[in-house]
Structure 1
Amino acid sequence: MTHVAAHAFGLDRDSARRTAKALKTTQALVFLGLGGWCLFAPQMVETLSLKPEFHHLSATTALLMGCFGAQAVLCGSLMLLCRFTAWTFLGFGLLASIPFFVFNAWFVWVAEMFTALMLVDFAGNLSFLLIGLLGWRLMRDQPDPV
């Protein structure tokens, strides 16, 4: 990291890299944790996240929730296995948050299908955006990915 960029956060080059790697790991663990929850307890997630009038608690909704969880587990696993550049952080930050902001807004406030618990999901998506932006800032002048 250049002298100016590293000092924007008061970090030397090595500290900036360690921080970026910790951010990546944190983001991956959130995907793994929430994805695992959807995969292994799909009806619990359905019960807590959807208003009662939208509960089906069927094998089909468990399958769909499990598929959603499996994709999140895959994403988290890939994040742990892959090395991130500044652009990877930015891509994950934008792609893991913006489409889901729209999703949350629609189904919480327009369709009114989700419970207030889905605001936790909104907070998680906001954290993905912030982690992506911070990781990009920390890594933008780094020659090697973390």
Structure 2
Amino acid sequence: MKIGEAAAASGVSQRMIRHYETIGLIPRPPRLHSNYRDYAAADLHRLRFIANARDLGFATEEIAELLALWSDEGRASAEVKKLALARADALHAKARKLEAMRAVLLDLAGRCSGGERPDCPIIDELSGGA
């Protein structure tokens, strides 16, 4: 199937499919006589795997590791679990930072009158003043 069909079937954009080919996450497919890429069912499965891993927050390097583990039938599931737990820890740290940012914004917004006067603690904080 052509790249547009592969994109529609996998939920991965054509641009990202080309990118994944360039960085080696998916093998370059053979070309048809018309020079169009010819994707197979296995390519779609791999693209869906990548998309699912992306949705869970895995970085490109981690996805490459997961793909290698997926292809290795002799893999130790402990390696996969280790990657998943590391990603979960990273997401937790990011969530804590985002919540702290949210708390600061809510505090600043709560101290801002929101009226017609120019004084604003939000602007003061952003400018490093007050």
Q: TM-score of the superposition, structure 1-length normalised?
A: 0.27
Question: Which has the larger Rg?
Answer: 2
Q: Which has the higher contact order (CA 8 A, sep 6+)?
A: 1
Q: Which has the higher helix share?
A: 1
